[in-house]
Homo-oligomer: A and B are copies of this chain.
Amino acid sequence: MLSRVVRIVEAFGPGDTALSVTEIARRSGLHVATASRIVEELTNFGWLQRHEDRQVRIGVKMWEAVSRASPTLRLREAAMPVMEDLHTIVGQHIQLGVMEGDDVLFVERLTAPRAVINYTRVAGRLPLHASSSGLLLLAYAPSDHQERIISGPLEAFTERTIRTPSQLRSALAEVRLQGHALLAGHIHADVTGVAVPIRDPGDRVVAALAVIAPNDDVARSRVAVLLAASKAISRAMTYPASPPFK
């Protein structure tokens, strides 16, 4: 059955590059015999691969199939050159996120080796109410989605994380007023995030571009260059897709 394949692949959580069959069975709730058999079949297709010690990893074939037809390909291709320029200019972490359920999902990021701690990863998530990217995306989301988050539990990361519905409501209003989201110390006490919207040709907000910097960085002055970058990405997305290759 199909759900078992999904459960097996999704058993790999953030930070798990390799798992044993037993561990996969435990996490997915499948019988080990079932897990073993499906893992073997997927391995034959190259969708999973096995280490010499029988540990299981995601296979190159699956990565390839998914990556070449990735749902965010257009966005990432349009964004990457601009993100690089931005990265060179501001010298801090740059990240690109989209809304996915009640989280922001980061689809691309550039790290600054000596810069501040940053918990995000490519394909990592953060709650919408807690991160600058998430708050920005939520501010431009349909109101029923906003209301669901506002009325839901608001997990706190630090003492400055938004934790009440009224705080969140006014924060969203402020984001819409200013056109960007600036959050200091909401995820980690020493870290400030600034996020701006990226719009598709129909002017809908489809992604957030953010700079993650230490609190004492001149974060506020980064808004202008961030906005310029987001305009450039929005413009690049309006052009037709790039030509096929091999």
Contact A72 B80 (CB under 8 A): no
Contact B241 A17 (CB under 8 A): yes
Partner of A69, one of B58, B74, B113: B58
- State the number of copies, please: 2
A-B contact sample (15 more), CB < 8 A, given A2-B38, A13-B69: A2-B5, A2-B41, A6-B45, A9-B62, A10-B61, A12-B69, A14-B68, A15-B243, A57-B69, A57-B71, A60-B72, A66-B66, A68-B122, A84-B110, A124-B245
Contact B122 A67 (CB under 8 A): yes
Interfacial residues, chain A to chain B (CB-CB below 8 A): 2-3, 5-6, 9-10, 12-17, 38, 41-42, 45, 47, 49, 57-74, 80-81, 84, 87-88, 98, 100, 105, 110-111, 113, 119-126, 241, 243-246
Bound complex: CA A100 to CA B14 (Å)? 25
Report chain B residues within 8 Å CB of A15. Answer: 241, 243-245
